[in-house]
């Protein structure tokens, strides 16, 4: 296996773990959505979103990736809001 193939294998392994974790997160998001529905809470909690981004940016070992991690979590939370909104429409 050459160097490029090794790097791609590393990425594939990371992607496999990311997929597992995203699925786990989305299942938990559905639980949050059900709770919000039962208690009449809105899907959007802007303060919570900002806190999640700040907390995760603070976990970085290499601060040069702050813009990418910020964008990643913004995208992830956009997906989770869509997931919760779809749940609220269904039930």
Residue 86 structure tokens? 């779809």
Could you tell me how many residues make up the chain? Answer: 91
Would you say residue 91 has pLDDT above 80? no
pLDDT tens digits along 34-50? 999 999 999 999 999 99
What average pLDDT does the segment 70-90 reach?
93
The two tokens of residue 83 are 């997931």
In terms of phi and psi (left: phi > 0; alpha: psi -120 to 50; beta: otherwise), the region of 40 is: left
pLDDT tens-digit profile of 5-34? 999 999 999 999 999 999 999 999 999 999
Flag whether the pTM goes above 0.75.
yes
């Amino acid at each position: 296996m050459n160097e490029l193939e090794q790097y791609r294998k590393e990425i594939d392994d990371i992607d496999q773990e990311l997929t597992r974790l995203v699925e786990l997160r989305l299942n938990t998001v559905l639980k949050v959505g059900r709770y919000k529905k039962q208690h009449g809470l809105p899907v959007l909690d802007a303060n919570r979103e900002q806190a999640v981004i700040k907390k995760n940016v603070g976990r970085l070992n290499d601060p040069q990736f702050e813009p990418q991690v910020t964008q990643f979590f913004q995208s992830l939370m956009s997906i989770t809001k869509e997931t919760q909104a779809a749940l609220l429409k269904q039930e």
